[in-house]
Amino acid sequence: MRRLPKDSPDPKERVAAERIKRSTDNRPFAGVERRRSPGVGPDIPESTNEVTVFHELGKALTSSLQLDQVLRTIMEKINEVLRPDTWSLLLMDLEKEELFFQIATGKGAEALKDVRIKVGQGLAGWVAQTGEAVVVPDTSTDSRFFKQVDSKTKMETRSIVAVPVRFRDQCLGVIELINCIGPEGFSKRDLALLEALADYAAIAIENARHVQRIHELTITDDCTSLYNARHLNFMLDTEIYRSHRYAFEFSLIFIDLDHFKNVNDTYGHLVGSKLLAEIGAAVKDKCRLIDLAFRYGGDEFVVLLPQTSKENAFGVARRLHKLIREAVWLKDTSINVHITASVGVASYPTDSRTKAELLHLADEAMYLVKNTTRDSVAAAGLGILAHGE
């Protein structure tokens, strides 16, 4: 049998083993700051039930990247162990600095869907702001209590336990337990368990955000921040399936910038890239919420118009053509670029029922303009459109 280093007769090996042991003792999980209650150390004896809970949470974290699924598993375990009347998980909208209800249970859960709580507002907002857990046995005596939530849910909140969901120095959300404090109070052990479960939630949220960021990078064009050609192919498959099933129409608009090479040759590729980004942002800004804008490659853009007939797509194509033609671009650099575009339109199912043919027809219509007049709009099967057509 191989001798372990700590049992080795060699003094050097024993010293090395002791160093390893000292360096790993009480080491916190990377990125997660454990917020134990005062007086509760890391060496709390674990019951069989708690071991089972953490084992199942560990499996949930490693077996799924679906944030909602993992968070629901965590919250279900909280419900099993701590038995609150109701519970909720609020997540942080980092841009607006507001909390919103990601998961909520109880009779008033539906009413909480549109409720937003500002950082610092109410007990949940206070926890998000300070990063500290709070135990309130009687909400009527706490000035921080936010009564408007009860008025929405038509429920009575008598007691609250709330803990922050934190990763490194950032608050990602708050877990709230409602009416779970009995006559004996809320024990330090239960609070420590709740804080540990909040750590699992933080890991799940951060993992999901990393996955989302990676996904966004794979479908986004670096230069313009529009979707890329890979995502166009995926969305076309999706839109063809949806339109076939529900008998919808949809349209594609291809846009190619005229003489874009002259901008690169005159001002350099950095200016050319900035022009592409500026035009891409303007095209996206003119789209509806359901429309999707893509950079197809080079100086070509594509706009996907769900539930839009060919005739209605003509109007959109003309507006985008006019926008590009009449705008003065790169004004902030004092270059003041003027540029025009060749635009092509094709529609499903009017022109084609297949992805490849639809892309080809829209591209062909665009090239009809590019190889003749430039600075105009053409449609598959119709040619270059007259001004009022």
Residue 286 phi, psi dihedral angles, 5° rounding: -85, -5
Q: Which residues contact 179 (CB under 8 A, 6 or more apart)?
A: 84, 85, 86, 157, 158, 159
Bridge partners for 170 per DSSP: 167
pLDDT recorded at residue 267:
94
Domain residue ranges of the chain, discontinuous segments joined by +: 1-27, 31-217, 229-384
> What does the pLDDT look like over 6-56, one tens digit per residue?
455 554 444 444 443 444 444 433 444 434 444 444 444 445 566 676 667
Q: Token digits for 241?
A: 């399936």
CA-CA distance, 255 to 134, in Å (whole number)?
Answer: 56
Query: Strand, helix or coil at 92?
Result: strand
- 276 with 295: CB under 8 angstroms? yes
- 169 with 81: CB under 8 angstroms? no
pLDDT recorded at residue 42:
44
Alpha helices, H only, the chain: 11-24, 48-63, 67-82, 122-130, 148-153, 188-219, 229-246, 260-267, 269-285, 310-326, 355-370
pLDDT recorded at residue 284:
96
Query: What is this structure's pTM?
Result: 0.64
According to DSSP, residue 333 is labeled G
pLDDT recorded at residue 10:
52
- Give the count of alpha carbons within 13 A of 216, CB side only: 9
CA-CA distance, 277 to 89, in Å (whole number)?
Answer: 38
CA-CA distance, 339 to 320, in Å (whole number)?
Answer: 13
Residue with tokens 């060699």: 10
Q: Which residues contact 304 (CB under 8 A, 6 or more apart)?
A: 232, 235, 236, 239, 250, 251, 252, 291, 292, 293, 294
Domain 229-384 has CATH 3.30.70.270: yes
The stretches in the chain having pLDDT less than 50 are 1-6, 11-46
Q: Matching CATH topology for 31-217 and 229-384?
A: no
Residue 162 phi, psi dihedral angles, 5° rounding: -135, 135
Residue 145 exposed, middle or buried by CB count within 10 Å (0-12, 13-18, 19+)? middle
Strand 292-297 to strand 250-257: parallel, antiparallel, or no bridges (unpaired)? unpaired
3-state helix, strand, coil in the chain (%, to 5): 45, 20, 35
Maximum CA extent, the chain = 95
Q: Which residues contact 187 (CB under 8 A, 6 or more apart)?
A: none
pLDDT recorded at residue 69:
77
Q: Which CATH code fits 31-217?
A: 3.30.450.40
